[in-house]
Amino acid sequence: NRPIIIDCDPGHDDAIALILACASSDFDIKAVTTSAGNQTPEKTLNNALRILTLLGRTDIPVAGGALKPLCRELIIADNVHGESGLDGPKLPDPGFDAVSEHAVELMARIIRESDQPVTLVPTGPLTNIALLLATHRELTDNIERIVLMGGGAETGNWSPAAEFNIFVDPQAADVVFNSGVPITMCGLDVTHRAQILDEDIDRVRDIGNPISDVVAELLDFFMIYHRDPKWGLEGAPLHDPCTIAWLLKPELFTSKDCWVGIETEGKLTQGMTVVDRYQVSGNPENATVLFDVDREGFVDLLVECLQHYSE
Ligand code: BDR
Ligand code: CA
């Protein structure tokens, strides 16, 4: 099994990514760490503990991370994810505590001690991952890859140019994309194609186990924000689960290796991922950028993973 650490800011789609990862025997989930993003750091940490409690995975160590982005003040997405960060379903209170180690130290220790290179899966702002890479350079050789949700070649969603996770902490993203560690970027290009439609939510609800019921309610809530016709979407984009889906079934995705630079200073473009799709900059490729997904195959994978919880 592939050792992974999920660094997330749950968040509806982060929660679904966690649920998918825990359903698969392909992963050895070494830790879940939390970043500030969709909600305050206290709430995202609490939400990770609540989801793992729901899944009965209180064996996975959970650690809270940085309280704010490297240079900027924290921006949260309560307009998308609600007051708790996971509004909608009724979730259990945490049945266990976070470890006392800081997220960055926990990640560092796991990577150092692992006899197999560890894959990092960040689905929130990249603050913790940047701190890890900046403070533990010696560990980069034992990081297999960073499979992240963030950015977009064509568009933004928090500003016209920037996607939320990168917009919140562009300086952190800059450290990560310049780290030399192989990166898979699941940006808006692909996540806006990984849409979940009303009939897919019905399929999830029909599975009828306690976890699929929660996922259906998470999706119902997540759908509200994305129903606004301004997005031009038919359903809700399942951003963060694309990371786990790519690790499980990369054949569902279309990708291209590109150089990606992060705009940290632009007046209108802070947090933009500048994707050199046509190799015009001459800069060496630093990321595998996902552009498209077999949407039906993606939904089938989601359903298969959730059926696992009926067994
Ligand atoms: C990203 O922002 C958050 O709201 C989601 O959890 C996802 O990680 C999408 O832009
Ligand atoms: Ca997220």
- The rounded Å distance from CA 44 to ligand 2 centre is 10
Virtual torsion, Cα 181, 114, 101, 19, nearest 10 deg: 80
49-96 pLDDT tens trace: 999 999 999 999 999 999 999 999 999 999 999 999 999 999 999 999
**290, containing H or E segment:** strand 287-293
Nearest C-alpha neighbor of 257 from the set 290, 293, 291, 287: 287
- The rounded Å distance from CA 124 to ligand 2 centre is 4
φ, ψ (nearest 5 deg) of residue 30: -80, -30
pTM (2 d.p.)? 0.98
- Ligand 1 pocket test: pick from 39, 80, 222, 240 the residue with the most ligand atoms within 8 Å of its Cβ: 240
**255, containing H or E segment:** strand 253-262
Note the ipTM here.
Answer: 0.99
239 is annotated as an active-site residue: yes
Q: Which amino acid is at 167?
A: F
Which two three-digit tokens encode residue 91?
């979730």
138-173 pLDDT tens trace: 999 999 999 999 999 999 999 999 999 999 999 999
How are the residues of the chain apportioned to helix, strand and coil, as percentages rounded to the nearest 5?
40, 20, 40
